[in-house]
Amino acid sequence: MQGKVIQVSTSPGGVPNYPVLEGHLDTEGFAGVGWNNRKRHGGANQAVLLLASEVIEELRALGYPVFPGALGENITTESVDFAHLRAGQRFRLGEAIIELTKIRTPCSTLDTYGPGIQRCIYDLRVKQADPTSPVWAKSGFYARVLRAGVVKAHDPITLLSFDPPELGLTAQAAASTPEPS
């Protein structure tokens, strides 16, 4: 699997993220990035968020005023088939190496772009870790940084390996879903 970085984006907190020429990616994410809600965003297992430019184009076609960085992604990709992304896959982006950790659960902050946007990129099947969902990974994929380095627009994105997590993706999702009261 090969694609490329279309844009690297950062923000001191909240959306949108804004383009930068290049960013230094380390275990806490890109230098200069902040998070308004540290319980939901950031940390070693959510150091960076990737989103496909093709999803942005789909949302624009539906009338949502989105653009690269608008949905909070740090890396906007092109020609990476998100339908085939899985936790545990490792990629090289520029000088950095990342490992996918989990699909992003979109929060209400995205409502700023219009009602219903979350349903266009995330559904019950995704929440249940079903990769056959038509919106699988359209909300973006979080990753941890295994090797720090500079990432910039037009850098290739190359799949290096796939080391599935100890728990299967379905078991991880089930473990993170609260039991009904």
Residue 143 lies in a domain: yes
Cα dihedral across residues 15, 121, 64, 48: positive or negative: positive
What's the confidence (pLDDT) of residue 96?
Answer: 96
Total domains in the chain come to 1
What's the confidence (pLDDT) of residue 121?
Answer: 97
What's the confidence (pLDDT) of residue 38?
Answer: 52
The tokens of 159 are what?
Answer: 């799949």
C-alpha pair distances (Å), 4 with each of 51, 113, 151, 155: 12, 26, 11, 6
**Which strands form 149-152's sheet, in the order they lie side by side?**
29-30, 22-26, 149-152
CATH number of the structural domain spanning residue 45: 2.40.33.20
Residue 34 lies in a domain: yes
60-66 mean pLDDT = 97
Residue 149 lies in a domain: yes
Residue 175 lies in a domain: no
Residue 12 lies in a domain: yes
pLDDT in tens, 5-55: 999 998 877 789 999 999 999 988 887 765 555 555 567 888 999 999 999
Residue 153 lies in a domain: yes
Residue 105 lies in a domain: yes
* Residue 170 in this model has a pLDDT that exceeds 60: no
Residue 181 lies in a domain: no
Domain range enclosing 104? 2-167
pLDDT in tens, 112-164: 999 999 999 999 999 999 999 999 999 999 999 999 999 999 999 999 987 76
